[in-house]
Chain A
């Protein structure tokens, strides 16, 4: 009798469910009530033309919804979850297997993060500081998945990155404009700006200062920033 090979039972779910091995969240869009795009994050590679079409479809569909409708839609083979916050619509496209209620929570979390960062965030904040909106998003999601579930940690990470950016900028300014300054030991010196950055050597007319602490001391008056 010829041996008939057995199909492993474990393989069956894979044979049937192979389709949802794509990214779970496909895109996240923010647009205004007039349909103007304010932020777009795509988690799968699609051509520019296709992105524009999807964006158009989303804005048309979502803006047509009546005020107290449910926040879930079906579009092609995706679930669309959207929520309106003031004048902005937050809209994401999910795989058919995803948990829509959790997606709503995810959108809400992003709004809270923006709100914490900008202080009572409004659409204008996102228009004029769109890079910051992206930086915040990139600390919250990665590859379409939630990367950090603590609001506090995300906020701190964004703050720290901003600080790093600020320090670098000020460093450049200092290096571009040699100035008199003195070392800080408990008092604020009005004449100059002193930055202490971990692990850096600062060359000044007074000599080389080795900086060990991680603190920014202010003093913009003399810097004209």
Chain B
């Protein structure tokens, strides 16, 4: 009788294996036995063996040697062999395998088999893995079955046709007539299949869509029948009559009503009816309501209906079921731009969802809250967002901070509020903000001129409380360096002033300098701030001098360079110190860009306007204005202060033309002898591929008898053959 183990027994043995290795061994033996059985003549065991192989396949082991066996079994006259054969085909063969073509003939024959269960196998398999070629071959058969068969076969033929249309869209035309007549069927299975097929046809072909718009009244009638019908035990799910069919009809009506006034009008009443009569206490009803809402929002509905739909979503937000809250928010997200006011009405509930336990719900609530920020609600909504930030899951922090910054930038009611908000974020989540936050905040602070005193007070307090958040510490250092005099004055209008001495402030900066928590960039800020204070304090300049000289031998090259330069500022250029370290001008975010060159063999530092701000703060933290010569741009290891500098700037361009490139070569010498006895030449190469007309100003700075001088000359046009 059946040779080899039964599949149950084999499964038991496999499960009994204690290790992966043991299991592999068992499987190898079993597969060998199965292969041997396959090679033998028909002995009534083939279906058992294929079933065993399919189990092995599901565990993840290779089973391709069973493919031909599937083909053989499908061709068998025995039902049980066909059943397993078709199952095997669906699991082991897909349209990419060559063997799949071999079953086309069997499928064709089985589609006309006397037993509907055999027909069913063929339909199921074709609808699951039929290739485009098989579909073309068998489409006429399917069409025949769509028209003349029992409901069991018709419903399967309809879905098989759906698969065919997905594979070979042109065949849609073949099925259109039959699908139309299927709408008059009473059988739910057939009706469902018909609606799915018609949906597919309409989605692919605008003419078919136009045709089926005429079927809207019929669809409305069917839907009404479902909604208003009494209890039907066969199709009832939690009080809803056939939710699957209802949802599909609604979706088809959505496609038919989209961009079409007539069709949309025809379904308005129905949608209102469904929306009000469907019980949403269980998932089935909610699924139907959800589909209704989506349909209302997508077609040309009356405004009253749209409001009703949004209110349904609002109700969903209060539902106990987390799933329903979640899909409510995804839907509201889709319509927040188009129906902004309607969604705003539910802002309170949405904001409450920020406190939900579920991470997915929280994420959706965050997205939606950020989309709902407006000038009107910015203050209250920001409170909620900041509260959320303090307890939000780590994976959402970066997104939340950038969302808050964007919202604050767009709708800040006052500069003070703006600064406070950013500081709050930095205190709560300073580690999760983007790099641009620091220069952006600094730029904001400079523009808020009346708030300098307030800001430096706030930041000083934050700094002495905690120096671990780098972004906050950097801004604090910069502020103290810049506005330290306001701090020391001991008076402030906007907030409680601090009573600090110069030493306290220097202590704070030194703590940052020395702390292992401070990043190199932060220490750079602290050192520069300390230096700046040398012109803002009166008593403790020597302390600053000694700090600066200590760091002149710091291991960190960046700090060392700064310290060395500041040292030089004290020693050799003390007369310039006040000018160099004076208060920064208000930085305009989109300030005109310049390209400044460096001489003395240095390479070009081509800076774009926006990068400039970053560059300024991180590199030297000093003034870098058009009109002031910068004498201390040095390279590590070189001697200090070249004797002259050459500046070239583009005039009357708000940004340097992108295509133009400047290259400065090294000057021929460092010193020009007196009395015209020699000269120094420096070549500048200008590449202007687009032949943009240029005006340039050339400024030469040099020292003569210990005086810094400069000469400026303007070049209004270059000789035309030059380009």
Contacts and interface: CB of A to CB of B under 8 A. Distances in A.
Interface of A: 8-14, 17, 21-23, 37-40, 42-43, 45-47, 52, 68-73, 99-102, 104-106, 108-109, 127-128, 130-131, 134-135, 138-139, 142-143, 145-153, 157, 160-161, 164-165, 168-169, 172
Given A14-B203, A148-B192, 5 more contacts: A21-B204, A52-B60, A72-B360, A146-B192, A168-B80
B206 A14 contact: yes
A150 B189 contact: yes
Contacts of A43: 128
A11 B188 CA distance: 32
B237 A105 contact: yes
Contact of A172 (B44, B54, B243, B326): B44
Contacts of A42: 94
Contacts of B359: 69
B155 interface: yes
Contacts of A131: 51, 54, 83-84, 87
A85 to B, nearest CB: 15
Interface in B317-351: 322-327
Contact of A10 (B206, B290, B360): B206
Contact of A149 (B55, B242, B357): B242
A143 B128 contact: yes
A184 to B, nearest CB: 23
B198 interface: no
B166 A21 contact: yes
B160 A69 contact: no
Which 3 A-B pairs rank lowest in CB-CB distance, beginning with the nearest?
A101-B287, A143-B127, A45-B94
B69 to A, nearest CB: 15
Contacts of A8: 206
B615 interface: no
B243 A11 contact: no
**Which of A73, A102, A128, A142 has the most CB atoms of chain B within a 10 A radius of its CB?**
A142
29 contacts: A12-B259, A13-B255, A23-B166, A37-B58, A39-B58, A52-B60, A69-B359, A70-B322, A70-B325, A72-B360, A102-B243, A102-B244, A102-B287, A105-B283, A105-B284, A106-B244, A131-B84, A131-B87, A138-B87, A138-B124, A142-B128, A142-B156, A143-B128, A143-B159, A145-B162, A148-B188, A149-B192, A149-B235, A165-B80
B658 to A, nearest CB: 35
A21 B203 contact: yes
A105 B203 CA distance: 25
Nearest to A102: B287
Contacts of A172: 44, 78
Contacts of B234: 150-153
Contacts of A101: 283, 286-287, 290, 323-324, 327
A171 to B, nearest CB: 9
Interface string B107-118: 000000001010
Given A70-B326, A152-B234, A13 B258 contact: yes
A13 B96 CA distance: 32
A149 B245 contact: yes
A8 B207 CA distance: 10
A68 B244 contact: no
Nearest to B87: A134
B11 interface: yes
Given A22-B166, A127-B11, A142 B124 contact: yes
Contact of A147 (B55, B94, B193): B193
